[in-house]
Amino acid sequence: MASKVLVIAEFRGGKFKKGALECVAAASRLAPALGGGDVTALVIGGADAKAAAASLGKQGATRVLAACADWLAEFNGDAYARVAADVVRAEQPALVLVAATLDGKDVAPRVAARLDVGYAPDVTKLAVEGGKLAIARPLYAGKAYANVTLAGAPAVVSVRPNTFALLEAPGADAPVADVALAFGAGDLKSKVVAVEAAKTDKVDLTEAEVIVSGGRGLKGPEHFVLLEALAAELGATVGASRAVVDAGWRPHHDQVGQTGKTVSPNLYFAVGISGAIQHLAGMATSKCIVAVNKDKDAPIFKVADYGIVGDLFDVVPRMTDEVKKLKK
């Protein structure tokens, strides 16, 4: 088995995605068990991505390959997958890791298809046991886990953000080498003309360590100030159930669940959320779940680590006050 791990490290909005850094850190922990090979990070993007590439050494990359050009500055699934597949063919790693972000979920299966190898999406367990990769991914809204064995080499795996910790003692910058691109902008089937990103300075839900989500129990959009106050004290991001998004109380990019975002924070508050299976699909792998609901039989309590049966309009302000006191 080749021993290298290659991480396709996503660079977006002037920095590496947290999930990408987690993949590099995970790769550096796995590499010794895979035979001690190096950890190579592949950066695809424009000039700003190249300028930041060396910093991946801090999370354990031993070398960085930069496939950077103006026409790669904006994400293009087709182009990125072609570049990545070419690099993987040349490098022959045992394992290819990608963070399971929106773009990562686009690129990773394309790379696997181009290489005709197996792909495990959105995994939450990745280890080396008995010299072999042990991979598990949640199914049925986290009610079951599938142990996955991949045929062929390399194994292509996308990792759910917030699954692995960053290195506690970051290292030094890594050497960067340019990738010679085998094709150009004119060879692409599609071109990204413009990207319209939602204007927000809050931490994206998929990267947030703490999330305070609200549901229909809040009774109206004006009451989300309660959650925003708690979130501000906790340094959290506010999320929402689909019921409130459909009602127009919150924007769609706040939605957690099967048709929203999949999150895995260290701490998830579900406030006035019943816990429908489609909501659980997006948050059941959170490390610690706190539910506030006035109905003691609400399904959310089945997945909650801590449950408070009570009226959220009474409970949430008291929680916020308690957090304030603790911080003092």
Residue 161 makes contact with ligand FAD by CB under 6 A: no
Q: How far is the CB of 292 from ligand FAD (least distance, A)?
A: 6
Say how many residues touch ligand FAD, by CB under 6 A.
28
Q: How far is the CB of 120 from ligand FAD (least distance, A)?
A: 22
Q: How far is the CB of 223 from ligand FAD (least distance, A)?
A: 9
**Residues, the chain:** 328
**Residue showing the smallest CB distance to ligand FAD in the complex:** 257
Could you say which of 124, 241, 285, 320 contacts ligand FAD (CB under 6 A)? 241
Quick note: the x/- pattern for ligand FAD over 202-231, rule CB under 6 A, is -------------xxx--------------
Please give, one letter per residue, the 3-state secondary structure of the chain: CCCCEEEEECEECCEECHHHHHHHHHHHHHHHHHCCCCEEEEEEECHHHHHHHHHHHHHCCCEEEEEECHHHCCCCHHHHHHHHHHHHHHHCCCEEEEECCHHHHHHHHHHHHHHCCCEEEEECEEEEECCEEEEEEEEHHHCEEEEECCCCCCEEEEECCCCCCCCCCCCCCCCEEECCCCCCHHHCCCCCCCCCCCCCCCCCHHHCCEEEEECHHHCCHHHHHHHHHHHHHHCCEEEECHHHHHCCCCCHHHEECCCCECCCCCEEEEECCCCCHHHHHHHCCCCCEEEEECCCCCCHHHHCCEEEECCHHHHHHHHHHHHHHHHC
Residue 291 makes contact with ligand FAD by CB under 6 A: no
Residue 293 makes contact with ligand FAD by CB under 6 A: yes
Quick note: the x/- pattern for ligand FAD over 162-201, rule CB under 6 A, is ----------------------------------------
Residue 274 makes contact with ligand FAD by CB under 6 A: yes
Could you say which of 145, 253, 258, 323 contacts ligand FAD (CB under 6 A)? 258
Span near ligand FAD by CB under 6 A; candidates 10-18, 29-37, 77-85, 272-280: 272-280
Could you say which of 173, 295, 305, 321 contacts ligand FAD (CB under 6 A)? 295
Residue 71 or 313 with smaller CB distance to ligand FAD: 313
What does the binding site for ligand FAD look like in residue numbers (CB under 6 A)? 215-217, 241-244, 255-260, 272-274, 276, 278-279, 282, 292-295, 298, 311-313
